[in-house]
Amino acid sequence: MANIFNINSDSIKDNNVQNDVDIQQIPGLNAAAAFNIVGSVASEENALAAIIQEEADKLSLLTGAALTFANFTDLAESITRTMKTVLLKNTVLEAKLTETLNYIENEPSFIISPVFVDNLIAILARIANEENALGNLIRALGNAVRLLAPALSLAQLQAVDQIVISLLRVITEKNLVLLSKLRRLVRFIVNNSDSFPTPTAAQVAATIAAINSLITSITVEENGLAVLIEGEAAKLNRAVALTTSAAGIPGLLAFNNTITSVIDIVVQKNMILEAKLEDILALLALGFTPAQLAVFAATLSNLQQSIANEEFSLAALIGTEALKINAIAGITPGNIGNLVAVNDSATTLLESITLKNMILQQKNLEVINFILSL
């Protein structure tokens, strides 16, 4: 990591003395305060991660006799409201971090201190914590839906999917904010790497741990999405089982469109995760040793397994879609309108799934290329 932190300790000491003089000569400039703002962002991010994890834990406890349509609806809607507030807070923190990093970059009198480096590393780790918590929340949502689906009516299945869509939209917006924050942080590190002081052993270890956590958080979110897709397959299977006559076909096709809307949001989230991986790989190009890069490669290999898990879940959803086509063909074998309609609904869903497959393929390719480059 010598290319990231390449100023020796003697020069740091000398420059800090000069920096104190410069700050006294320029009213209003306070490097320590600016650096501490970055530290405060890290602290607040950590608190938000804890709140999100608590929301995931509450949803995970909704099992057995407690798992009813009414209980799920009440709790999921409450979590969605909480997540909207968390999103607002994240947006404010993202603006604060961006403004502060811009300010620091535009003040040549500021000498990057070891404490500031600690704060930057902390934000990397805290973003990973939030992403992990989001992945756990998605997994809990998927598990609850999967367990609840066999007991629901078609109307209740529709209502559950609307709740899933609402919560996923908030989560995806939060992912966008976290991506923007990570992207600004990575850009700052890349652009100013020559000005970073020589790291301590503890800072090197913390940096490696933070980047590994970021990679792992993608794995956690991918696995969460896999469970959520399994929940969608379970709902579709239930909707097919409820459709026993021609009169129920329009409702089934409408529900199929709702599932497509869920997959569309999942695709958006996958695109964000793919962009996040690109930013992480940009950090890995900044002077790590072969041994350290091998550690990252091992973590990236785990990411490949999560991609496979999503593919398995998509296969289950496609298989259920085939059952739907077969069921409708059996109910109205001579009704061309129904047969065309069911094919159209299947095609629309498959288009969304194919786009998701393309993103997963790109992510897998990036991992393979990194591993092969070692």
pLDDT at 10: 35
How many domains in the chain?
A: 1
| pLDDT tens digits, one per residue of 274-290 | 999 999 988 888 778 88
| pLDDT tens digits, one per residue of 155-169 | 999 999 999 999 999
pTM of the model: 0.87
Q: How confident is the model at residue 142 (pLDDT cuts 50, 70, 90)?
A: very high
Sign (positive or negative) of CA dihedral 110, 112, 113, 116: positive
Main-chain dihedrals φ then ψ at residue 222, nearest 5 degrees: -65, -40
| pLDDT tens digits, one per residue of 302-352 | 888 899 999 999 999 999 999 999 988 898 887 888 889 888 998 998 999
pLDDT at 219: 93
pLDDT at 7: 28
Do the Cβ atoms of 309 and 224 come closer than 8 Å? no
- Buried residues in 342-372 as b, exposed as e (16+ CB within 10 A): beebbebbbebbebbbebbeebeebbeebbe
Token pair 């811009």: residue: 102
| pLDDT tens digits, one per residue of 88-123 | 999 999 999 999 999 888 887 778 888 899 999 999
* pLDDT at 29 > cutoff 90: no
SS (H, E, C) the chain: CCCCEEECHHHHHHHHHHHHHHHHHCCCCCHHHHHHHHHHHHHHHHHHHHHHHHHHHHHHCCCHHHCCHHHHHHHHHHHHHHHHHHHHHHHHHHHHHHHHHHHHHCCCCCCCCHHHHHHHHHHHHHHHHHHHHHHHHHHHHHHHHHHHHHHCCHHHHHHHHHHHHHHHHHHHHHHHHHHHHHHHHHHHHHHHHHHEECCCHHHHHHHHHHHHHHHHHHHHHHHHHHHHHHHHHHHHHHHHHHCCCHHHHHHHHHHHHHHHHHHHHHHHHHHHHHHHHHHHHHHCCCCCCHHHHHHHHHHHHHHHHHHHHHHHHHHHHHHHHHHHHHHHHHHCCCCHHHHHHHHHHHHHHHHHHHHHHHHHHHHHHHHHHHHHCC
Q: How confident is the model at residue 77 (pLDDT cuts 50, 70, 90)?
A: very high
Do the Cβ atoms of 231 and 142 come closer than 8 Å? yes
Q: Which domain holds residue 240?
A: 5-372
pLDDT at 21: 34
- Of the two residues 16 and 209, the one the predictor is more confident about is 209
CA distance 279 to 124: 12
CA distance 86 to 52: 8
